[in-house]
Chain A
């Protein structure tokens, strides 16, 4: 059926046709099965959107302080006057938890990546910010502002892995990601350096600040699952209904 050598048959068909005139019949192509429809991006009419905000907390509050020893690289140690603390678990006395990636799940539609690049900076031998979200297709720019060698080693599972040395101050690299996941980024030279890039498929996400709060606006009205991800505590999620023009609130807590 790959090659329809129907031309060979034409002379015979001509003869046959004489006898077949009037013997109708034929395929009703309109009755063919239909394939599933493809979703299209909804237009984001500001009057049809709402916002969600809240606070993420952790039981037990503040974690025992852990100071980073940078002595291994004198350059790093020289970049700080005081002590540097690990950001693995940043919470205040009331348990408000920072560095939590909060994302609205399952918003239908496709969202183009913003032209603006997200930035990850190596500054004082620490990755800044610790946690951030980028959209699929959005450029992530990684900059070394330190006068020492860093290597940017991303260990994703769905996106391709990369490991790029940045031996010179001011060096930059740019990457984009095709699949949604949280990608750990480390520096093998300075094992304390760690960052997480949450690759997301819609622009409705936020990272909690020092007070554990977040706010996401412009979300199309609807009911959604909101997921909060923390690097060591895992994920928590909650349901939220966002009304057009309304502001919903959602607080989530980790067991600690």
Chain B
């Protein structure tokens, strides 16, 4: 028994030791200890560099200066000693004199009471007596006060003299401290990372249960939960246990590897001052992963490349954690996490990848087939052209070939390929596809409404080209035969309208002429605006565009259809509601046109054409794809990887493969499934970059349960921003304008940067709501920048949309949509403003009077908006602020500041200039409003007042 007891106690001891050592050796402790070493080494190196960089010459110079000063002071020891002893004696004198003065004062105060009492009693003698005594005391007190003040003065003089003697020394000491300050700071830091005896003791095995310095770093995210069926648990992020420097600056050089690197953009993330600070958001809200894991594999790290995967497998025994539903987003997909909170904002400020994904999804029209329950994708117009009058626009032969291979006509098109894809590539399917294509065209032509267009006046294509390149067409259209769509990845706004390559072989000139002049007559909900071209201008542009042709796409005939294949397809559709016999009988009854109509309709329904196109007879069609709102929250086992083992079994690999090869997941099943059962998603010809962007977006579609307080955006301005951004995307405002710091892609197509549409920064703070409302309704009503060839088109804004834009701009600048009442400037201010307007030569760029405006038409006054419009257009509070520092409001503006920045303050050059003989007249006129020249100069030197009277002058025009 004793033996067993001994063995078991030894066993217990061994297990205990094992446990202690196991705990001691946890990987995260190694990381923290290693980081401490690395940081120490880095500080030591930095100190060394600092010592090296410390200019030895200036150090020696300062030290010599210091020594010289000390020597000099030693030489003047006698004088200094005398000064000091003088001060000491003065201090003693002051003490005595002050005490004497205070004593007299208290006697005087008592005397005043006696005098007062005597007055009360009415005793003449006593009054006389007390008065005389009081007068004497007052005199004495004043005399003594003088003595005190005199001694105080002497002390102050003595101290100044002493300070002057020592000034050189103090200055030298200050210089030395400045030179050494960087080193001193580093020394303080070094002390915190030294591995002293304390460090080893507090972190020793068993001792480390008390107060170790190596410990789990965690943040509890109050209000954020994990749903683990039947209950919820708090989120506790422990990532910074290993990622020790994530919240610290300066660990981003090449020498720092993960997990020791600083988080990128600490101004935006992790740091306390950033909008996404660690204590509120932790890490996994954005990055995903297992919040409380302190082990590399369990945390859910996702490799980016095969090499990285192999490296991790060797180093950490890494494998896919298949029971972890939310592994960490691989680095290129990181932005998926933004959508945890930003999904309702339409776009994510300053994101790149996820916002490209959003733009691609809206351009490709994914929402036509898939419901996507976020504001950016709800209730959007169809992405493709309206086909209800298609027969009046193009011809059936072209349409059939287009449906078959759209990218052969135009390599940048968003129209996807439905046919001849990998799962239907077999010969047995060719006849089926031909039957589907031809029948669909037959259906469209049969159901196309008639339309007639006026004939086109003869146009000048050279003039048309000039117009095309200058009035603004290039904000949305390119004519590009060379570049693939990916070329426009960073500037998708340029592909907002179709690439007009080959348009002359596609549409009739008459249709194009009518379309350019009034797009809404053909498609009421089109985003294409009206550029208000005259008949001749429109004819010129048509002449130019019709020159772009693809001759192998002209005069195309229709291809014949295999009747048997068509019959098989029809029977398959019929059999969903009929017996075999009935379906055969029904088919036999159908005439040839009936069969074409029937199959055409079924084909359009099958491929969901009505998701992107308005088609007669499909008014109530429903989206045919799966809903994507919570695509990334779907458990992994619901993703069908088919028979493929070539693609890693992760959600994002599945999605990316699906996007680039939509029929891939039929791999190996083509022979088992019937033709009508195969995947139908069309192929958009996505590049890897495009597919990555869309994958990132889709990986953010989780409906993450982040509580409302943490969600992005201000609840009051949020809806205005979201609605505005939807409209900005829909109308492609950023094709021409810079909005929220991005856009103006038209610049890529324009040689002359003085012909660019304006940057709309600060629009909300700048313009009056009424003016903007009127302008949006009818941009032709105002000649704001008459020198520009590029013009704001007429979008035919509804009142609702115009108000959406006004509220959006106001929300961006946190301005109220409606401005306060305008000021009524005094005549003095107006007059002064006029003089300053002249002195600063504002009129060189701004036409500011009826004559100047009439004289417009080139020349110097063609740089800036007419100021006659200022009082109706601009907000009076904003104008002085704009005058003071225009770059602050609109980066890159041609409007210069008139006030140079000196030591962080705007300084007016006017007081200096007013003395120049050139301005004698102005000076004498302005002096009428001032008492003296100094007053005038003080006024001219006041940047706020000068800006305000300039505004007052503009309001008087």
| In the assembled complex, B709 has its CB within 8 A of some CB on chain A | no
State the Cβ distance, B257 to closest chain A Cβ, in Å: 11
A188 near B40 with CB under 8 A, answer: no
B860's nearest neighbour on chain A, judged by CB, is: A72
Is the C-beta of A155 less than 8 angstroms from some C-beta in chain B? yes
Q: Which residues of B sit under 8 angstroms from A37, Cβ to Cβ?
A: 45, 49
Task: Quote the shortest CB–CB distance from B921 to chain A (angstroms).
Answer: 15
Asked whether, in the complex, the Cβ of A163 is within 8 Å of the Cβ of B886, the reply is yes
B-contact 0/1 string along A152-194, CB 8 Å cutoff: 1101000001111101110101000000000000001101000
Question: Are B207 and A72 in contact, with the CB atoms below 8 A?
Answer: no
Contact among A1, A27, A72, A151 for B215, CB-based, below 8 A = A1
Known contacts A40-B52, A173-B900, A188-B845: A12-B210 contact under CB 8 Å: yes
Q: Note all chain B residues with C-beta closer than 8 A to A234.
A: none
Is A165 touching B897 in the complex (CB atoms < 8 A)?
Answer: yes
Instruction: State whether A33 touches B38 (Cβ < 8 A).
Output: yes
Whether a CB of chain A sits under 8 angstroms from the CB of B361 is: no
Q: Which of B175-183, B321-329, B888-896 contacts A (4 or more CB under 8 A)?
A: B888-896
List the one stretch of A3-11, A85-93, A100-108 in contact with chain B: A3-11
Find the B residue at minimum CB distance from A23.
B204
B194 proximity list for chain A (CB < 8 A): 29
B211 touches A72 (CB 8 A): no
A155 touches which one: B202, B892, B913, B918 (CB < 8 A)? B892
What is the number of residues of chain B that contact chain A, defined by CB distance less than 8 Å? 56
Residues A161 and B887 in contact, CB atoms below 8 Å apart = yes
Which residues of B537-580 are within 8 A (CB) of A?
A: none
Contact A163 B895 (CB under 8 A): yes
Determine whether B638 belongs to the interface, using a CB cutoff of 8 Å to chain A: no
Q: Are B894 and A188 in contact (CB under 8 A)?
A: yes
Residues of A within 8 A of B207 (CB): 9, 12-13, 16
Contacts of A12 in B (CB 8 A): 207, 210
Contact between A148 and B841 (Cβ–Cβ < 8 Å)? yes
In the assembled complex, A22 has its CB within 8 A of some CB on chain B: no
- CB atoms of B210 and A9 under 8 A apart: yes
Residues of A near B844 (CB, < 8 A) are 73, 148-149, 189
A33 to B886, CA, bound (A): 51
- Interface residues of A: mostly helix, strand, loop or mixed? loop
What does the 1/0 interface line of B33-52 toward A look like (CB < 8 Å)? 00001101110111011001
- Given contacts A168-B916, A189-B845, A189-B863, whether A33 and B211 have CB atoms under 8 Å apart is no
A6 B892 Cβ-Cβ under 8 A: no
A21 at the interface (CB under 8 A from B): no
Q: Mark B194-223, 1 if CB is under 8 A from A, else 0.
A: 110111111010010011011101000000
Residues of A within 8 A of B918 (CB): 147, 169
Residues of A within 8 A of B916 (CB): 168-169
User: B44-79, CB under 8 A of A: which get 1 and which 0?
Assistant: 111011001100000000000000000000000000
B762 at the interface (CB under 8 A from A): no
Q: Name A110's closest neighbour in chain B (CB-CB).
A: B53
Question: Which residue of B32, B202, B859 is within 8 Å of A9 (Cβ)?
Answer: B202
Given contacts A1-B214, A9-B210, A163-B897, A27 and B200 within 8 Å (CB-CB): yes
**Cα distance, A197 to B160, chains bound together (Å):** 50
Q: Is B839 an interface residue (CB 8 A)?
A: yes
Q: Are A163 and B896 in contact (CB under 8 A)?
A: yes
| Chain B neighbourhood of A18, CB < 8 A | none
Chain A residue with Cβ nearest B898:
A165
Q: How far is B478's CA from A228's CA once the two chains are assembled, in angstroms?
A: 35
Please indicate the chain A residues that have their CB under 8 angstroms from the CB of B841 in the complex.
148-149, 167
Give the residues in chain B near A8, CB-CB below 8 Å.
210-211
B909 at the interface (CB under 8 A from A): yes
Could you tell me how many residues of chain A have their Cβ less than 8 Å away from some Cβ of chain B? Answer: 44
Q: Is A34 an interface residue (CB 8 A)?
A: yes
Please, which residues of chain B bring their CB within 8 A of the CB of A40?
52-53
A4 CB contacts on chain B under 8 angstroms: 198-199, 202, 211, 213
A33 touches B898 (CB 8 A): no
Contact across chains for B892 and A167 when beta carbons are under 8 A apart = no
Instruction: State in angstroms the CA–CA spacing of A147 and B839 once bound together.
Output: 12
User: How far is it, in angstroms, between the C-alpha of A164 and the C-alpha of B894 when the chains are bound?
Assistant: 10
**Which residues of chain B (903-956) have a CB below 8 Å from chain A?**
909, 912-913, 916, 918
Please judge, given known A-B contacts A1-B32, A5-B211, whether A36 and B840 are in contact too, CB under 8 Å: no
By a CB distance below 8 angstroms, the chain B residues around A255 are none
How distant is the Cα of A6 from the Cα of B201 in the complex, in angstroms? Answer: 9
What is the minimal beta-carbon distance from A103 to any residue of chain B, in angstroms?
Answer: 25
A164 to B896, CA, bound (A): 5
| Shortest distance between the CB of A223 and any CB in chain B (Å) | 25
Q: Does A82 contact B (CB under 8 A)?
A: no
A1, B213: Cβ atoms under 8 Å? yes
- Contact A33 B41, beta carbon cutoff 8 Å: yes
CA distance A186 to B94 in the complex (A): 69
Contact A167 B898 (CB under 8 A): yes
Which residues of chain A have C-beta atoms less than 8 A from B886's C-beta? Answer: 163
Name the residue of chain B whose CB is nearest to the CB of A148: B841
Determine if A171 and B41 form an interchain contact, defined as CB atoms under 8 angstroms apart: no
CB distance from B367 to the nearest CB of A (A): 37
Within the complex, the shortest CB–CB distance from A112 to chain B, in Å, comes to: 10
**CB-CB under 8 A for A6 and B45, given A27-B195, A151-B896:** no
Smallest Cβ distance from B6 to chain A, in angstroms?
23
Contacts of B244 in A (CB 8 A): 1
CB distance from A208 to the nearest CB of B (A): 27
Q: B211: which A residues are within 8 A, CB to CB? A: 4-6, 8-9
A16, A151, A162, most chain B CB atoms within 10 A: A151
Pairwise interchain contact A6-B913, C-beta atoms closer than 8 A? no
Query: How many Å from the CB of B891 to the closest CB on chain A?
Result: 7
* B754 beta carbon closer than 8 Å to chain A: yes
Interface string of B744-757 (1 = CB under 8 A from A): 00000000001000
Q: How far is the CB of A2 from chain B (nearest CB, A)?
A: 8
Cβ–Cβ contact A162 & B887, under 8 A:
yes
CB contact list, A33-52 vs B, under 8 A: 33-38, 40
List chain B residues, Cβ under 8 A from A162. Answer: 887
Kindly state whether residue B255 has any CB partner on chain A within 8 Å: yes
Which A residues are CB-close (under 8 A) to B887?
A: 161-163
| In the bound complex, CA of A191 to CA of B859 (Å) | 11
Check B41–A165 contact: CB distance below 8 A. no
Chain B residues contacting A191 (CB-CB under 8 Å) are 754
Q: Do the beta carbons of B863 and A188 come within 8 Å of each other? A: yes
Residue of B nearest to A186 (CB): B894
For residue B898, which residues in chain A have a CB less than 8 angstroms away from its CB?
165, 167
**In the assembled complex, A115 has its CB within 8 A of some CB on chain B:** no
- The answer to whether A38 and B53 have CB atoms under 8 Å apart is yes
Given the complex, which residues of B lie within 8 Å of A35, measured CB to CB? Answer: 41-42, 44-46, 255
Question: How far apart are A150's CB and chain B's nearest CB, in angstroms?
Answer: 9
In B209-247, the 8 Å CB interface with A consists of: 210-211, 213-215, 217, 244
Which of chain B's residues has its CB closest to A3's CB? B213
Q: Given the complex of chains A and B, what is the CA–CA distance between A184 and B68 in angstroms?
A: 50
Cα distance, A139 to B430, chains bound together (Å): 74
Query: What is the bound-complex CA distance between A189 and B886, given in angstroms?
Result: 16
Closest residue of chain A to B839 (Cβ to Cβ) is A167
Report the minimal beta-carbon distance from A140 to chain B, rounded to whole angstroms: 14
Bound complex: CA of A169 vs CA of B912, how far in Å? 11
What would 19 A/B residue contacts be, using CB atoms closer than 8 Å?
A4-B198, A4-B202, A6-B199, A8-B210, A9-B202, A12-B207, A29-B37, A32-B37, A32-B44, A72-B859, A147-B918, A148-B844, A149-B840, A149-B841, A163-B893, A164-B900, A168-B912, A171-B909, A188-B863
B interface, CB within 8 angstroms of A: 32, 37-38, 40-42, 44-46, 48-49, 52-53, 194-195, 197-202, 204, 207, 210-211, 213-215, 217, 244, 255, 754, 839-841, 844-845, 859-860, 863, 886-887, 891-898, 900, 909, 912-913, 916, 918
List 4 extra interface pairs beyond A6-B202, A73-B860, CB under 8 A.
A9-B201, A34-B45, A153-B894, A189-B844
